[in-house]
Amino acid sequence: MATLKLITNCLLLMKIGLQKVKPSSIKDTLRKDLYRYGGRSGFWGFLSGLKISGFRYTYFLRKAGLAPKYSCSGLFYRLMLRRYTYKYGIQIPIDTQIDDGFILAISAIL
């Protein structure tokens, strides 16, 4: 009986962890990520944030996870994520749930 309850709780936690992010909250999440990288948000902060390799990777990771897989935007975001995966050597699965304010400190010698 205890084993069944444990399995049920594990399945429930897995179901909760795999929920999709709502499109309205993705803006807030990206805004918090951007603030962690540069201390600014908004349009100009976003443009300057795209110059930072860690934010660029995080942006495409979040957008690729949100967009439908076989749509034009989904294919674009996945293609860009794949490009930056090879460029920066970071491999984070698309369906990974990451909280707000995520920061990647990338220091690579090219």
Could you tell me the two tokens for 105? 């400190």
* Choice among 2-6, 42-46, 62-66, 95-99 with the minimum mean pLDDT: 2-6
Q: Is residue 17 assigned to a domain?
A: yes
Instruction: Show the domain range for 14.
Output: 2-88
- Higher local confidence (pLDDT), 101 or 20: 101
φ, ψ for residue 102, nearest 5 deg: -70, 135
Domain count, the chain: 1
pTM of the model: 0.72
Q: Is residue 67 assigned to a domain?
A: yes
pLDDT at residue 24 in the model: 59
Quick: pLDDT tens for 62-107: 999 999 989 999 999 999 999 999 998 889 999 888 878 777 776 5
Residue with tokens 């050597």: 89
Q: Is residue 74 assigned to a domain?
A: yes
Q: CA separation (Å) from 85 to 2, 20, 76?
A: 43, 22, 14
Could you tell me the two tokens for 85? 């995966």
